[in-house]
């Protein structure tokens, strides 16, 4: 599973990056994206980022969807 | 875990409670801290100036301008530049030290009046002067409600000052009230009264700005504005400051560069004085929050005269310029004193090298319904109300923002019965100003009075209708209020409306995080303030059936 940031909904506020900088980064479009899988170790932070997103742009998704 | 920052002054505050890790607006904890410190030292300066006035000593208007500009730089989406904010803190400390020497009796002044520090001490001090330092939730709530109202009032005052109009009463009130937010002896009742007084000065400040704008640029009139593009390179001007627009239009004459308005600059199109410039083109884009994609497509320079600035993408960073209270690290800032002509030539030279803007849409918008234009149509409006052709007015003024829940406002406008007219001001209008809502006997169903400060026009229109219909109470008019808010100018508009006696305002899409439960209760019990429900519920509640 990997957190997926909807690129249309994301407002680029950087909250998820600030919450979990090892998991989320800002891309060149000024939007956030997850760069690593959700693991047992980091899932709490991922959850915090998902819940903290002011526009609800982050969801957990199967990794294969990223490659579509 | 200790918060990295704490700010809850805007509608998008994290979780509807407060930004503690990073600002949803994009401001980082260090910037938030510097803004907290700037507010603190500005309040400290204000205790000194208030004492000077008590001692019948004069306070130079440059000090007033420092106070209002300081407040403005802490408004949501105005200034993200920690260094610029730090320099403001230093300048404020210097001025405070200078003025303290003129005070005869400093015995009652608080710590904030005396605190001095070097820039390397700012971060530590900032951490001890934030919002949460006030422990009592209700006192904190009222202090912040007042402070944010004063920020909005400061912004409007600044625009009047730029047009060389100063009101000593308003400035003295801003400063004495800032001082009172540090006074631990004030009770909840005292602060509630002070909140209402802030609304009173809000009306005064908005009246000043209305006079400043209309004295210089004429009264807004019905205008059809193009929303497409022309073939020349262009400069896009955003924000609220009409003096900046005037200077830009003057300096771009004969350059082959057109000037377009963005977001809250749209209402500049309604003023007679600007219509003489053939190179003044139309409006480009929508409300502030769509700016990243729209500024990319504009291709030319963008001048931010006020908020809202969204931290820019790399693709147009070098085309973004700030002036006035706005600032973004690494983005070029053009400065100038009130009464002086700012030099926009570097920006104009850049514009000449750019492609023409990419067209986003075609069509037109109609606006210009500020008080004099509406008064000129008063007979027509009154006839339509008396005949029932216009059954109700709904004031939908305020700010637009990013939450999806704000689609409520578009849907509400679309579903309004055809005998209802929308009165609007501010960028909230972009949720419905491009909808084909038609007209009633030639009166457009969306009457745009102008920028958020032009909510003053809506107040005057309501008061005029109250007079014409011979009503005792403004709330007996067929006018309801369904207002969208986002930042601190909306707060002063709200307080101004409450001061004028407007009841049953619906405020959305969420209520401010800085209203404690008890303060909310006071607002509900005394003024009938409420949040929003579903579109259908609120249509029934606010509009009723024909």
Instruction: Summarize the confidence of residues A20-37 as an average pLDDT.
Output: 93
Model confidence at A63, in pLDDT bands (50, 70, 90)?
low
Domains along the sequence of chain B with CATH: 14-215 (1.20.1270.20), 223-352 (3.40.50.2030), 368-543 (3.40.50.2030)
Q: Do A29 and B313 touch (CB under 8 A)?
A: yes
- Cα distance from B486 to chain A (closest Cα, Å)? 14
Q: Does B404 sit within 8 Å of A30, measured CB to CB?
A: no
Q: What is the pLDDT of residue A66?
A: 47
Three-class secondary structure assignment of B491-532: HHHHHHHHHCCCCCCEEECCCCCCCCHHHHHHHHHHHCCECC
At residue A64, the pLDDT reads 55
The pLDDT score that the predictor gives to residue B546 is: 56
pLDDT of residue A61: 85
Statement: residue B303 has pLDDT above 70: yes
> CA-nearest residue of chain A to B403?
A55
DSSP symbol at B15: G
Residue B228 has pLDDT above 50, yes or no: yes
pLDDT tens digits, one per residue of B192-215: 999 999 999 999 999 999 999 999
Beta strands in B49-166 (DSSP E): none
Please give the average per-residue pLDDT across B267-280, as a whole number: 98
Residue ranges of A 5-64 with Cβ closer than 8 A to chain B: 9, 11-15, 17-19, 28-30, 51-52, 54-56
As a whole number, mean pLDDT of residues B396-420 equals: 97
* Model confidence pLDDT, tens digit, residues B58-93: 999 999 999 999 999 999 999 999 999 999 999 999
CATH of A2-67, one of 2.40.50.100, 3.30.1280.10, 2.30.110.10, 3.30.70.20: 3.30.70.20
Q: Are the beta carbons of A54 and B12 separated by less than 8 Å?
A: yes
Average pLDDT over residues B375-387: 96
pLDDT at A55: 87
Q: How far is CA A63 from CA A4, A57, A60, B131, B478, in A?
A: 9, 17, 9, 42, 56
Q: Does the beta-carbon distance from B311 to A11 stay under 8 Å?
A: no
Whole-number pLDDT of residue B5:
96
Task: Decide: B279 and B257 in contact? Cβ < 8 Å.
Answer: yes
Which range among B18-22, B120-124, B452-456 shows the weakest confidence by mean pLDDT?
Answer: B18-22
* Residue B412 pLDDT: 98
Residue B106 exposure: Cα atoms within 13 Å on the Cβ side: 17
Choose, out of B22, B291, B401, B406, the residue to mutate when testing the contact with A (most A CBs < 10 Å). Answer: B22
Task: Tell me the average pLDDT of chain B.
Answer: 97
pLDDT band at residue A62 using 50, 70 and 90 as cut-offs: confident
Percent pLDDT > 70 in chain B is: 99
Asked whether the predicted pLDDT for residue A67 surpasses 60, the reply is no
pLDDT tier at A28 (50, 70, 90 boundaries)?
confident
Secondary structure in 3-state letters for B452-478: HHHHHHHHHHHHHHHHHCCCCCHHHCC
Q: How many residues does chain B have?
A: 546
**Structure confidence by residue, pLDDT tens digits, B440-474:** 999 999 999 999 999 999 999 999 999 999 999 99
Name the phi and psi angles at B224, rounded to 5. Answer: -100, 125
Query: How many Å is the Cα radius of gyration of chain B?
Result: 23
- Mean pLDDT within B513-528: 98
Q: Quick one: closest CA in B to A29, which residue?
A: B313
Determine the pLDDT at residue B1: 60
Residues B222-250, mean pLDDT to the nearest whole number: 98
Whether pLDDT at A68 is above 70: no
Least Cα distance to B425 among B464, B369, B372, B488 occurs for B369
Positive or negative, the Cα torsion across B510, B514, B519, B522?
A: negative
Contact assignment for B22 to A29 by CB distance below 8 Å: no
Q: Tell me if the bond preceding B95 is cis, omega within 30° of 0.
A: no
pTM: predicted TM-score of the whole model, two decimal places: 0.96
ipTM above 0.90, yes or no: no
């Amino acid at each position: 599973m990997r957190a997926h940031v909807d690129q249309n909904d994301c407002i680029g506020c950087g909250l998820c990056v600030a919450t979990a900088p090892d998991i989320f980064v800002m891309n060149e479009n000024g939007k956030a994206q997850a760069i690593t899988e959700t693991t047992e170790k980091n899932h709490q932070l991922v959850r915090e980022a998902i819940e903290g997103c002011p526009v609800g742009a982050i969801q957990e998704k199967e990794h294969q969807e990223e490659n579509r | 875990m200790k918060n990295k920052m704490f700010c809850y002054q805007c509608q998008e505050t994290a979780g509807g409670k407060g930004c503690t890790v990073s600002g949803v607006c994009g401001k980082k904890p260090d910037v938030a801290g510097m803004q907290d410190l700037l507010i603190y030292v500005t309040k400290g300066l204000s205790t000194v100036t208030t004492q000077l006035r008590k001692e019948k000593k004069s306070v130079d208007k440059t000090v007033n301008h420092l106070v209002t500009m300081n407040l403005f730089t802490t408004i949501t989406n105005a200034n993200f530049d920690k260094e610029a904010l730090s320099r403001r803190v230093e300048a404020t400390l210097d001025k405070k030290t200078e003025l303290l020497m003129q005070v005869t009796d400093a015995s009652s002044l608080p710590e904030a009046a005396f605190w001095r520090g070097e820039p390397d001490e700012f971060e530590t001090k900032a951490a001890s002067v934030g919002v949460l330092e006030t422990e009592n939730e209700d006192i904190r709530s009222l202090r912040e409600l007042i402070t944010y109202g004063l920020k909005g009032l400061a912004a409007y005052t600044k625009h009047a000052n730029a047009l060389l109009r100063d009101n000593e009463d308003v400035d003295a009130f801003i400063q004495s009230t800032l001082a009172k937010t540090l006074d631990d002896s004030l009770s909840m009742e005292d602060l509630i009264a002070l909140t209402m007084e802030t609304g009173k000065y809000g009306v005064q400040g908005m009246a000043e700005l209305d006079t400043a704008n209309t004295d210089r640029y004429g009264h807004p009139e019905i205008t059809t504005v193009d929303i497409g593009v022309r073939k020349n390179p262009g400069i896009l001007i955003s924000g609220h400051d009409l003096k900046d627009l005037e200077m830009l239009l003057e300096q771009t004459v004969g350059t082959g560069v057109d000037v377009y308005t963005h977001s809250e600059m749209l209402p500049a199109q309604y003023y007679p004085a600007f219509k003489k410039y053939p190179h003044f083109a139309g409006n480009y884009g929508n409300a502030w929050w769509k700016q990243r994609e729209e500024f990319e497509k504009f291709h030319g320079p963008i001048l931010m005269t006020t908020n809202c600035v969204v931290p820019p993408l790399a693709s147009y960073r070098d085309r973004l310029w700030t002036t006035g209270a706005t600032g973004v690290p690494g983005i070029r800032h053009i400065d100038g004193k009130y009464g002086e002509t700012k030099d926009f030539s570097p920006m104009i030279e850049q514009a000449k090298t750019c492609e023409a803007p990419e067209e986003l849409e075609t069509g037109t918008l109609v606006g210009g319904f500020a008080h004099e234009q509406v008064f000129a149509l008063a007979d027509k409006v009154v006839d339509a109300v008396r005949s029932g052709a216009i059954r109700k007015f709904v004031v939908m003024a305020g700010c637009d923002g990013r939450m999806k829940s704000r689609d409520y406002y578009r849907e509400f406008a679309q579903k309004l019965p055809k005998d209802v007219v929308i009165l609007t001001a501010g960028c909230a209008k972009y949720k419905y100003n491009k909808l084909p809502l038609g007209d009633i006997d030639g009166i457009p169903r969306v009457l745009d009075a102008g920028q958020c400060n032009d909510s003053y026009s809506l107040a005057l229109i309501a008061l005029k209708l109250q007079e014409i219909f011979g009503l005792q109470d403004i709330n007996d008019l067929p006018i309801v209020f369904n207002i969208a808010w986002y930042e601190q100018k909306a707060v002063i508009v709200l307080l101004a409306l409450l001061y004028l006696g407007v009841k049953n305002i619906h405020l959305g899409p969420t209520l401010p995080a800085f209203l404690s439960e008890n303060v909310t209760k006071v607002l509900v019990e005394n003024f009938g303030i409420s949040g929003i429900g579903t579109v259908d519920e609120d249509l029934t509640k606010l509009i009723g059936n024909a």
